[in-house]
Chains A and B, each alone.
Chain A
Amino acid sequence: MANNYVSDRRSQSIESRALKVNTRGETLKIIGKKALPYGLVAPSLVVFIVFMIYPMIYMIYLSFHKWNMLSDKTFIGFSNYTKLFSDPSFLEVVMTTVKFMVGTVSVSVILALILALYLKENTAINKFLQSVIFAPYIVSLVSISFIFMWMMDSDLGLFNYALNLLHLPTVRWLENPNVAIYSLVLVNVWKGVGYYTLIFISAFQSIPPYLYEAAKLDNASKTKTFFKITLPMISPTLFFITLTGIIGGLKVFETINIMTAGANGTNTLVYNLYQYGFQFHKIGYASAMGVILMVIIGILTLFYFNTLSKRVHYR
Chain B
Amino acid sequence: MNQSSKLKTVLKWILNILIFLIFFVPFYWMLLTSIKSLGETLQFPPTFLVKTPHFENFKNAFEAIPFLKFTVNSIVVALGTLFFQFITVVPAAYAYARYKFKFKSIFFGATLATMMIPAQLIFLPVFLLFSKWGMINTYWSLILPYASSAFGIFMLRQTFMQVPEELIEAARLDKSSEFQIVTKIMLPIAKPTLVTLALLTFIETWNNYFWPLVMTTNDTVRTLPLGIASLRMVESGINYHTVMAGNVILIIPILIAYFFAQRHIIEAFTYMGEK
Contact = CB atoms under 8 A, between A and B. Distances in A.
A and B associate: yes
Interface string B125-137: 1111100000000
B30 interface: yes
Interface residues of B, number: 86
Contact of A135 (B29, B122, B127, B258): B258
B148 to A, nearest CB: 4
Nearest to A118: B15
Contact of A283 (B128, B209, B254): B128
Interface stretch (B42-50, B51-59, B61-69, B162-170): B42-50
Interface string B197-210: 00000010011011
A143 B95 contact: no
B104 A37 contact: yes
A125 B122 contact: no
B251 A140 contact: yes
Nearest to B209: A142
A55 B250 CA distance: 31
A234 to B, nearest CB: 11
A147 B125 contact: no
B89 interface: yes
B110 interface: yes
B114 A52 contact: yes
The SS class assigned to the B binding surface is helix
Contacts of A237: 273
Contact of B29 (A38, A158, A274, A277): A158
A178 interface: no
A147 B262 contact: no
Interface of B: 15-16, 19-20, 22-27, 29-30, 33, 41-46, 87-89, 91-92, 94-96, 99, 101, 104, 107, 110-114, 116-129, 144-145, 147-148, 150, 153, 178, 203, 206-207, 209-210, 213-214, 225, 228-229, 232, 238, 240, 243-244, 247, 250-251, 254-255, 258, 262, 265-266, 269-270, 272-274
Given A198-B270, A244-B273, A274-B123, 10 more contacts: A37-B104, A38-B101, A41-B92, A54-B125, A55-B126, A150-B243, A161-B45, A190-B22, A199-B274, A240-B273
